Amino acid sequence: MMKKTINGKSAIPGLLLLSLLGCASVGDYARPDQGMPADYRGAAEGDSSRTSGISSSNLPYREFFEDPALLALIDSSMAHNSDLLLAVKNIEYASLALRQSRLGLLPTLSLQGSVSTSRPSDNGSNPLPEGTESVEDYSLSAATSWEADVWGKIRSRKKSALAEYLRTKEAAKAVRTRLVSEVAQGFYNLLMLDEQLDMTKKSQALADTTLAMMKLQYEAGLVTSLAVEQQEAVRLERISSVAGLERLVSAQENALSVLAGAMPDSVARHRGLAAQAFSVLPEPGVPAGLLSNRPDVKDAELALMREHANAKVAAASLYPSFTITAEAGIEALEASDWFSFPGSLFSFVSGGCCSRFSSKESSGRPTTRPG
């Protein structure tokens, strides 16, 4: 029978490698199952009208609203609203970050040139020979470095940048949705205030007529002065209501103008509240379909995916990084010898494995930095 023995010292590197590979890492992202209901509460079982036709979650606003004044306000807000313009700039910023992350697997390249002169002390350890006043050094080099993505750190950074880019796009969609909602709500509120103001002005005109009649009746001795004073109070209350409604109309017009990206001004209205009509009435759809089309829900999920990728980057940073570095160039002590080949050429290639660690003296616990 043959017995095999294992040297303990030779097994240490293998055990260390197995411990690194066996460390708990962050798995791939998986959308959790929320268990959405098949229909809204109170819906009749087997009602197909909720799933047929056009859903409210994917209906364009131009197919829903028909008032040209409202459509003009919404179009202006889409083109000039400051919140939406900021969201668009965030998309551009995230797009540039995504392009940068896609270059992470490529080697980096740097160029460096330097000229230096030195004058050592004559009484020092390395005095200059007689007749030499200083020592010059001329150098021009190019260096490249490449990191092997062994632990998926660079790929995780790319996933994080992609999730952030998609999140900014969904955030812009959420801003557009909110703008359409706020402009439409403000516009219909303005039409409602117009109706209230019109009715209050008619009531004020009626109060003026009634007061004039009661004054004639008072002169004829048919009513007392108390009745005339009561009617005068009613007339003043109508005047106050008209002034309050006019103030609300102006405030609503200013708010709509600001949403549209313009200075506070009056808002054109072509149709009254009673003349508003909707040719398309969307179906409510199903809960899962509504959530899948909501940009704020997508924004939150993409933010979760981004943080999940960042967690993978942090986990990969705990492991050593493997890099290959190469540099080549020309160097000479005299400018006239700079392009004297091959004597002025130099080069080197190196490979390294490093891991960054730091410790807090206050707690004594090790901490890590992303590599």
Alpha carbons within 13 angstroms on the beta-carbon side of residue 225 total: 0
In a domain, 331, yes or no: no
Tokens of 336: 């006239």
In a domain, 333, yes or no: no
Residue 115: strand pairing partners: 138
Among left, alpha and beta (phi > 0; psi -120 to 50; other), residue 108 is beta
CATH number at residue 200: 1.20.1600.10
Q: What is the pLDDT along the chain (371 residues), one digit of tens a residue?
A: 444 444 445 545 554 554 555 444 677 788 777 776 666 666 666 554 455 445 566 678 887 888 889 989 999 998 888 888 888 888 988 988 888 888 887 888 888 888 777 776 666 666 666 666 667 777 878 888 888 888 888 888 888 899 999 889 888 888 888 899 899 999 999 999 999 999 999 999 999 999 999 999 988 888 889 999 999 999 999 999 999 999 999 999 999 999 888 888 888 888 888 778 776 666 665 566 667 778 888 888 888 889 888 888 888 888 888 888 888 887 776 666 666 666 667 766 777 777 655 444 334 344 433 33
Scored b (16 or more CB within 10 A) or e, 114-138 reads: eeeeeeeeeeeeeeeeeeeeeeeeb
Residue 357: strand pairing partners: 368
pTM of the predicted model as reported, rounded to 2 decimal places = 0.66
Longest dimension (CA), the chain: 140
In a domain, 211, yes or no: yes
Among left, alpha and beta (phi > 0; psi -120 to 50; other), residue 288 is alpha
Choose among 327, 332, 334: nearest CA to 342. 332
Name the amino acid, one letter, at 370: P
Name the amino acid, one letter, at 33: D
In a domain, 209, yes or no: yes
How many other CB atoms are found less than 10 A from the CB of residue 235? 20
In a domain, 359, yes or no: no
For 209, phi and psi rounded to 5 degrees?
A: -65, -45
Residue 317 sits in which domain range?
A: 57-109+150-321
Tokens of 296: 């704020």
Residue 139: strand pairing partners: 114, 331
What's the rounded Cα separation, in Å, for the pair 74 and 160?
A: 34
Among left, alpha and beta (phi > 0; psi -120 to 50; other), residue 46 is left
Choose among 286, 363, 359, 352: nearest CA to 325. 352
* Sign for the pseudo-dihedral over CA of 105, 163, 28, 24: positive
In a domain, 16, yes or no: no
Q: How many domains does the chain have?
A: 1
Q: Are 293 and 89 in contact (CB under 8 A)?
A: no
In a domain, 261, yes or no: yes
In a domain, 350, yes or no: no
Omega into 68 within 30° of 0, i.e. cis?
no
What's the rounded Cα separation, in Å, for the pair 151 and 371?
A: 12
